[in-house]
Amino acid sequence: MNHLFILGALAAQSLIRRAPFPQTAFLIAAPLLLSLVSTEGFAADTPEDKPTGTEVSAAETLAQSVYDRPAGKDMSARVIMALESKGEIKKKRLLYSYAADQGNAERWTLMRFVTPKDVAGTGLLSIDQAGDNSDQWLYLPSLDRVRRISSNRKGGRFVGSDFYYEDLSDREVNMDHHRLLGTDKVGGVPCTLLESIPVEKSNSVYSKRVSCIHKKLLIPLRVDFYTRGKKPIKRLQASKIRKVQGYWSIYQSTMIDLKKDHKTHLITTDLIYDQGLPDQLFTQRGLADETLELPYRPDNKKEDPKNKDKDKSSKNKNNT
């Protein structure tokens, strides 16, 4: 399941199982107005050196292991998105991210902003199926309508952040050529460098991605994104990882626009796996009707009766 839309997705979890970064959540995540969406033209580079068969096999094995990393059947997260420009936080947004793994490379994600007022209720629904089949819909409460996101908007910025719409969708291992580039460190932690180049240039705005993957946890600690030239244009870096319900999860990550000195921080504050999210949540009706998701928000979970009893017992002791 994709974490970083990766946003929790985009969290930092939805950015939630991308290959090689799930995104994401989310993920990372991973939704105001269409006027905020801009598109840019990109030209893909051609790799200069062709890797050997052994190198390809080892690289594909690593990429597949990252993609298949256990992340539960479904996930819901509460995420803070902070937009930073020139060292100063300009905007903060609160969103909820939901993801469900349907098997056979089919994954569903839903993201909803709740604050501030200018984006409250705005949502993004992504349905990723096997191959290069991905559908996205945007709900705009000011218009009270659901609009489909055109596939040619992959390079459009998501709600003015440093995430592109492509960053919020799933990407299967066989959609890229992979090779190992050696090792590196992120924050002093050793990791393996994995290069991923699109098999078909037309299905990605990026010419390649280079991920630095934690050798044991199989989590990308850093991902560099390239378009033209030899220097990356963006960098996604994880800064906080926790184990939740047996799953290693990205709790804090940052997408950096290396050209504009702009950053988008994703901070997960609550996260729940395997709630049994209903299918209707991941429909256009669920996208337009915010009330359907309320019972599944991680900070709305019911209080454990045992904890209530403990609280009552503690109060009684204090009163005697």
- The answer as to whether 303 is a domain residue is yes
- The answer as to whether 238 is a domain residue is yes
Query: How far apart (Å, rounded) are the C-alpha atoms in residues 217 and 8?
Result: 17
- The answer as to whether 35 is a domain residue is yes
Residue predicted with more confidence, 303 or 295: 295
Average pLDDT over residues 164-179: 86
- The answer as to whether 94 is a domain residue is yes
Average pLDDT, rounded, for the chain = 79
**Band (168; pLDDT cuts 50, 70, 90):** confident
- The answer as to whether 3 is a domain residue is no
**Band (152; pLDDT cuts 50, 70, 90):** low
Q: Which helix (H) or strand (E) holds 242?
A: strand 234-244
Query: How far apart (Å, rounded) are the C-alpha atoms in residues 227 and 232?
Result: 7
**Band (53; pLDDT cuts 50, 70, 90):** low
- The answer as to whether 6 is a domain residue is no
Per-residue H/E/C for 40-108: CCCCCCCCCCCCCHHHHHHHHHHHHHHHCCCCCCEEEEEEEEEEEECCEEEEEEEEEEEEEEEECCEEE
Q: Where are the beta strands (DSSP E) in 104-207?
A: 106-115, 123-129, 133-140, 145-148, 176-186, 189-198
**Band (169; pLDDT cuts 50, 70, 90):** confident
- The answer as to whether 80 is a domain residue is yes
Tell me which residue range forms the domain holding 292: 12-43+70-172+232-319
Q: What's the N-to-C CA distance of the chain in angstroms?
A: 51
Residue predicted with more confidence, 306 or 5: 306
Ramachandran assignment for 72, one of left (phi > 0), alpha (psi -120 to 50 degrees), beta (any other): left
Kindly report the CATH number assigned to the domain that includes residue 154: 2.50.20.10
Residue 213 token pair: 């993957």
Q: What residues contact residue 227 under an 8 Å CB cut-off, 6+ apart?
A: 42, 43, 44, 205, 206, 207, 233
Specify the number of domains making up the chain. 1
Residue predicted with more confidence, 48 or 68: 68
Query: How far apart (Å, rounded) are the C-alpha atoms in residues 248 and 138?
Result: 30
pTM value is 0.75
Average pLDDT over residues 10-39: 34
Measured in degrees and rounded to the nearest 5, phi and psi for residue 35 equal -70, -15
- The answer as to whether 225 is a domain residue is no
Beta bridge partners of 98: 76, 110
